[in-house]
Amino acid sequence: MLKLHFAPNSRASRISWLLEELELPYELNMMSFHPKDPKSDEHRARHPLGRVPVLDDGDVSIYESGAIVEYILERHKNGGLKPSVDSPEFPMYLQWFHYCEGMVMPPVNTIVVHTLLLPPERRDETVLGQAKRLLTKAWEPVEAALEGKDYLIGDFSGADIMLGHAAFMSKRLGRTS
């Protein structure tokens, strides 16, 4: 059985969402997300930084949410959530699958650091303002791609799951559109 090492409000939500969509049975190991909480040696053997998500699948242990999504879609079943490599949707699937981590999540991460993680005296309002502007700009192509439709490439896909967490975090940090 699959085992997901999970913390609330983390990228691990992508994995639990995917597993639920595909109706794959899994065990959930709830972990603390706070960076100051010590991580066990056992968990550091799974992820050298002690982070989540990590998915255990028999002898395989894999981390990084995008890699785990791809692994599940290739190894277990994709439930139509990934177009075939020769389909016309495949290039756009790849683009949007990776867009959220490359363009949306970097400013989200900066906002989290400068509003939640750093002590108030170390927070930089200039950096925070730049990150908020970058986040707004990063969402513009997504909004354009979704104009008049529900999903990024036609049908619901792994790309939507990847972007879903970024949308959740963006909204949680104050993005309104």
Is the pLDDT confidence value at 39 over 90?
no
Domain with CATH 1.20.1050.10 in the chain: 90-172
CATH number of 90-172: 1.20.1050.10
Q: What pTM did the predictor assign?
A: 0.92
CATH annotation of 2-75: 3.40.30.10
114-153 pLDDT, tens digit each: 999 899 999 999 999 999 999 999 999 999 999 999 999 9
Mean pLDDT value across residues 35-56: 86
Residues of CATH 3.40.30.10 domain(s) within the chain?
2-75
Least confident of 20-29, 96-105, 168-177: 168-177
pLDDT of residue 177: 56
C-beta atoms surrounding 166 within 10 Å: 23
Mean of pLDDT values over 62-80: 94
Cβ partners under 8 Å of residue 115, min gap 6 = 123, 128, 173
